[in-house]
Structure 1
Amino acid sequence: MIITKDDREIELMTEAGRIVALVHEKLKEVIVPGITTNEIDQICDKIIREHGATPSFLHLYGFPNSVCTSINEVVVHGIPSNRKLKDGDIISVDVGACYKGYHGDSAWTYAVGNVSNETKRLMNVCESALFAGLEQVKPGVRLSDISHAIEEYLTKNGCTTPRDYTGHGIGTNVHEDPAVPNYGAPGRGPRLKKGMCLAIEPMAHLGAKETVTLDDGWTVITKDHSLAAHYEHTIVITDDGYRILTKL
């Protein structure tokens, strides 16, 4: 069942989203060659807690850390470690914050130092695919119209998207109905309504769409080891469109 949120709930989700956005603002400063993903995890955890929230992902389904740190061919769910980032890497950091029982969720991909033009293109295409999907959002639109717009944009720009990982509803749980795939035909699924809160999150591969989960049970990589990017915002559907909750 898809649950719409009332004004009080949206107010709490707005604050959760603001905290997530503050974390990403800090990440723009600290992601440089030499930093470890454990250090990134600790920085994110500290900011979330300083603003009266808790990390949404810590122990969620057994995940061991506060944020996901996915480097290069890692698509999602990378576990922070003592690995140091190198010039030319990219890293997707997926951040969730729970404020008074309500969640905000946003992932962003960052360049580490100087990256190749091909890498920049992947990042630009994935970020633009997010906004191509968001352009569809308003009351009355079918859910799969978002999915179709994302896939269409990725495909025409030479990228693929995995089939096993999707966006989702969000509220008192990080993951709520409905699932929001990044592919599919338009005109399907429930109609969007004012007060629905969704996390829209395209993932893009430079190579094939297939993925493999490593032996740690979490880290998902591209099967062909091609680069992957991941961009996500939490939104609320308004009278005539949407509002992004995870930006300042």
Structure 2
Amino acid sequence: MITFKSEREITRMHEAGKLLAACHKLLRQKIKPGVTTLEIDRFVDEFLIAHGAKSEQKGYRGYPYATCASINDEICHGFPRAESLKDGDIVTIDCVVNLNGALADSAWSYPVGKISTEARKLLNVTKKALYIGIAQAIAGNRTGDIGHTIQEYVEGRNYSVVRDFTGHGIGRNIHEEPQIFHYGTKGRGIQLKEGMVITIEPMVNIGTWFSLLDDNGWTARTVDGMLSAQYEHTIAITKDGPLILTSQDD
């Protein structure tokens, strides 16, 4: 069931989004060779608590951490760990913030030290895919318009779009309807309407889009060991167009 949010609810989700964006901005300086993703996870957890918020994913279906930290060939839901990040790695930090009951969700891929040209291009293409998808998130369009635009852009640059994981509605719960596929057909899918709040979060691989699941039951990685990246924003559908609730630009 799709839930529609009032202006007041969107304002509260925007406040949660601003806090999450502030956290991601701080991570730009903290993610470097020698740092562990467990240390990053602890920082995020403590930052949110200090600002009167919490990580909504911590404890969600038994998930034990405040963040997902996915390194290199890990597509999503990577467990933070004590292994140090190395020069040339890429790491995606994903977190859902709960601020006084209002949720916001954002993932961001970061370079660790000096990365390869191939890795840099992957990050650039994935981030661009996010924003061209957001441009389609307007009332009257359909979810397929978002997916088609992202797929066409990504595959046109010889990358693949992960199909096993999707964006989603968000509100009182982390995952609500509708699902937001990052591939698809123009004019198909659920029609977007004012008051909907969704995440757009393309996961893009250098190789094939197929994934496999680790024994922990959470972490998905590429089947061919190639790099994967992800960027995600929480978006409100408004009469004035898409409103990015987790924007790092303000």
Quick check: TM above 0.5? yes
1:49, distance to aligned residue in structure 2 (A): 1.2
Matches within 5 A, 1:138-157: 138-157=138-157
The residue type equivalent to 1:71 in the other structure is: I
Cα distance in 2 between the residues matched to 1:151 and 1:235? 19
- Mapping of residues 84-163 of structure 1, within 5 Å: 84-163=84-163
CA RMSD of aligned residues (A): 0.8
DSSP-derived class of the 1:133 partner: helix
Q: What secondary structure is seen at the aligned counterpart in 2 of 1:79?
A: coil
Given the alignment of the two structures, is residue 72 of structure 1 paired with residue 56 of structure 2, yes or no? no
Q: Are the counterparts in 2 of residues 102 and 173 from structure 1 also a CA contact under 8 Å?
A: no
* Aligned mates of 2:149, 2:2 — CA distance in 1: 22
1:1-12 alignment, distance < 5 Å: 1-12=1-12
- How big is the shift at 1:8? 1.5
The structural deviation recorded for 1:99 is: 1.2
1:240 Cα deviation after fit? 2.9
Question: Where does residue 57 of structure 2 map in the other structure?
Answer: 57
Gaps of 5+ in 2: none
Aligned-pair identity in percent equals: 45
Runs of 4+ in 1 over 4 A off after TM superposition: none
Structure 2 SS opposite 1:108: strand
What residue identity is the alignment partner of 1:135? Answer: A
Moved more, 107-116 or 180-189: 180-189
Question: 2:167, 2:181 within 8 Å by CA — same for their partners in 1?
Answer: yes
Matched residues in 2 for 1:33 and 1:241: separation? 39
CA distance in 1, matches of 2:25, 2:50: 15
Paired with 2:32 and 2:236, the residues of 1 have a C-alpha distance of 33
132-141 or 198-207, larger mean C-alpha shift:
132-141
Aligned to 1:202: 202
Could you tell me whether the CA contact under 8 Å between 1:144 and 1:188 is conserved in 2?
Answer: yes
Q: Corresponding residue for 1:212?
A: 212
C-alpha contact (below 8 Å) 2:147/2:183 kept by paired residues: yes
* Aligned residue in 2 for 1:16: 16
Partners in 2 of 1:188 and 1:102 — Cα distance? 30
TM-score normalised per structure 1: 0.98
Further displaced range: 109-118 or 42-51: 42-51
Instruction: Assess if the C-alpha contact under 8 Å between 1:139 and 1:240 holds in 2.
Output: no
The one-letter amino acid paired with 1:194 is E
Query: Contact 2:162 / 2:202 at 8 angstroms: preserved in 1?
Result: no
Partner of 2:171 in structure 1?
171
Q: How big is the shift at 1:231?
A: 0.3
Tell me the CA shift for residue 103 of structure 1.
0.7
Report how many aligned residue pairs link the two structures.
248
The CA deviation string for residues 143-187 of structure 1, in whole angstroms up to 9 with x for no partner, is 110011111111001110121100000011011100101111111
Q: Is the 8 A contact 1:95 1:106 kept in 2?
A: yes
Q: Is the contact between residue 135 and residue 242 of structure 2 (CA under 8 Å) also seen in structure 1?
A: no
Distance of 1:216 and 1:137 partners within structure 2: 34
1:118 partner SS: helix
Give the equivalent residue in structure 2 for 1:47: 47
Does the Cα contact within 8 Å between 2:143 and 2:181 map onto a contact in 1?
Answer: no
Gaps of 5+ in 1: none
- TM-score, with structure 2 as normaliser: 0.97
SS in structure 1 of the partner of residue 160 of structure 2? coil
Amino acid at match of 1:128: K
Corresponding letter in the other structure for 1:68: C
CA separation in 1, counterparts of 2:60 and 2:7? Answer: 27
